[in-house]
Structure 1
Amino acid sequence: MIASDVDGTLLGPAEVVTDRTVSAVGRVQGDGVPFVLCTGRPPRWIAPIAQPLGLTGYAVCANGAVLLDIGADRVTAVHGELAPELLHDLASAMDKALPGCRLAAERIGTGEVDHDMRNFVIEPDYHNPWGNHEGRTTMRAEVLGHPAIKLLISHRELRSAEMAEAARAVFGTAVDVTYSSSGGLIEVSAHGITKATGLADLAERFSVPAEDVIAFGDMPNDVEMLTWAGHGVAMADGHPAVLEAADEVTGPAGEDGVAAVLERWF
């Protein structure tokens, strides 16, 4: 089984899937090997990547909390929801640790994917480093008022690494904190829910042992997955923690680093 992160791994600065990557992934699937997207992205962001690659199998989304059947456009499993009481406690702690932070929540249930983004709610002045082009703006009470698979915390004046350090100091092991962008955004999920747990669940369904999985990634939310897989591959321009965790370092996404490794076997 091949598992790959999306942003910064399959997609380079141009944010497009290259012909070389399409060809390499096509050969993987042609040999009957599952190719799995493992991403922090929600299910509604998967189709633009899956379609050019010809993927109709599964994707591990929301950093391991969601299993998506791409072909059916259905969420088949959701793991580790954060209860409203916990969300309120987390928000209160962050207001003290990181004054000026803003919150968003991702809510997903099983069934057809909600492409209208009604399940992604943000409070006013929430900042998305990928662009503030989605999310339903509402009051904080609504953001925190329902179970969520992920709490997102943004701050316009801080970097993600320092935000994550502050959050971990406050939260301890109550939840897991990670990030997939350096631009002032951290992602909080239920303790123990990672890309590795989501991928392990899927690998078990396919009866594929961890040692037969090759995984690619570039950011801290990929570390557990690269460590769990039999062969973890980091992108050359990846975060230092990812480079340290990997068994191999390939070229950056902008130079088709994933394809370069896959071409050795397929």
Structure 2
Amino acid sequence: MDNVDRPKLVASDVDGTLLDPLERVTPRTAGVVGRVVAAGVPFVLVSGRPPRWIPPVARAAGLTGYAVCANGATVYDIASGEALSVHDLAPVVLHDVTHAVRGVLPDIRVATERTSVGPSPLAAFATEPGFRNPWGNPNGMDGENPEVPTAEVLGHPATKLMIRHSGLTSQELAAAVLSVLDGAALEVTYSTNRGLIEVSAAGVTKATGLAEVCAMVDVPSSRVVAFGDMPNDVHMLRWAGHGVAMANAHHDVLAAADEVTAPNSEDGVAQVLERWF
């Protein structure tokens, strides 16, 4: 890849990619991110995380630009702390999906992420009784919403519907849900294999969110290098001019990538970017 032109935009997944296994931005990675930004090249965080979980990563990496959140459903301005665009699932869709999946898998538990452009009276995260996040709250953030009735979870527009089943892997759960939702044209993906999948509106992926940012900064996809490790990164790696999978990546990501770098435990993102910056 040494003969590839220096990218005009760098896009990176966060967990399992930019962060090391202890959820830190290492000094080596922070250093090269700083050189990218100093060169006038946007460095965009592209994550399944909601906007409220972005600031600690942005501070550690020294970033104040844009982030793509909720698997592409939200474009977020890090400096202002405001969402610039949101692509929601309507309440009727949330109800229909949950009802259909629960007819086949009655033990699922659901939660929703909510983001708005401008102020909103709604809690950003709503969980029905029994829902458990498999990774906890990143960076020690523990002020999440308490459990509420299922009707409240599903009764407002949401950037993504999270479905949990403690007895299945995420891959197994995704396969079951896709068979139930066949023809619904919704996006079903996952970023952990611990029994959690994420459903987004039709056509909403990390690639579409990143395309929004690239349009804002006038960078073509051909000049983007993107990094990822889980199935929710596949569309982005295929869309970018050069998609890079971490060595610790899911097999679907490895198959979609143009290059495989070192794992996140060995600064795999930095090892690629140091060729140019």
Does 1:86 pair with 2:96?
A: no
- Name the Cα RMSD after superposition: 1.4
Please give the alpha-carbon distance, in whole angstroms, between the structure 2 residues aligned to 1:92 and 1:40.
Answer: 24
What SS is found at the alignment partner of 1:7?
A: helix
Please give the alpha-carbon distance, in whole angstroms, between the structure 1 residues aligned to 2:15 and 2:82.
Answer: 22
Runs of 4+ in 1 over 3 A off after TM superposition: none
1:94-126 Cα shifts (integer Å, max 9, x gaps): 112222000001111012699xx9220001110
Please give the alpha-carbon distance, in whole angstroms, between the structure 2 residues aligned to 1:112 and 1:31.
Answer: 34
Residue 11 (structure 1) shift = 1.1
Please give the alpha-carbon distance, in whole angstroms, between the structure 2 residues aligned to 1:51 and 1:98.
Answer: 40
Residue 236 (structure 1) shift = 0.4
1:186-217 Cα shifts (integer Å, max 9, x gaps): 00000100000000111011110000000000
**1:190 is matched with which residue?**
201
- Unmatched tracts of structure 2, length 5 or more: 1-8
Please give the alpha-carbon distance, in whole angstroms, between the structure 2 residues aligned to 1:215 and 1:172.
Answer: 30
- Identity among equivalent positions (%) equals 59
Please give the alpha-carbon distance, in whole angstroms, between the structure 2 residues aligned to 1:143 and 1:254.
Answer: 36
Residue 4 (structure 1) shift = 0.2
Contact 1:104 1:151 in 2 (8 A): yes
Contact 1:152 1:186 in 2 (8 A): yes
What SS is found at the alignment partner of 2:243?
A: strand
Residue 16 of structure 1 aligns with an amino acid whose one-letter code is R
2:129 alignment partner, one of 124, 133, 136: 124
Does 1:104 pair with 2:111?
A: yes
TM-score by length of structure 1 reads 0.96
**2:5 is matched with which residue?**
none
Residue 176 of structure 1 aligns with an amino acid whose one-letter code is E
Residue 135 (structure 1) shift = 2.9
Residue 50 (structure 1) shift = 0.2
**1:165 is matched with which residue?**
175
**2:236 is matched with which residue?**
225
1:115-141 Cα shifts (integer Å, max 9, x gaps): xx9220001110211127433310101
Counterparts of residues 1-266 of structure 1 (less than 5 Å): 1-79=9-87, 81-111=88-118, 118-131=123-136, 133=142, 134-174=144-184, 175-266=186-277
Residue 46 of structure 2 aligns with an amino acid whose one-letter code is C
Work out the number of aligned pairs and report it: 263
Residue 43 (structure 1) shift = 0.2
- Unmatched tracts of structure 1, length 5 or more: none
Residue 108 of structure 2 aligns with an amino acid whose one-letter code is C
Mark the CA change 1:173 to 1:57 in structure 2 (over 3 Å): closer, same or farther: farther
Please give the alpha-carbon distance, in whole angstroms, between the structure 1 residues aligned to 2:124 and 2:238.
Answer: 31
Contact 1:40 1:180 in 2 (8 A): yes
Please give the alpha-carbon distance, in whole angstroms, between the structure 2 residues aligned to 1:172 and 1:21.
Answer: 41
What SS is found at the alignment partner of 1:67?
A: strand
Residue 156 (structure 1) shift = 1.2
TM-score by length of structure 2 reads 0.92
Larger displacement relative to structure 2 (129-138 or 246-255): 129-138
1:72-111 Cα shifts (integer Å, max 9, x gaps): 11111112x1111111110111112222000001111012
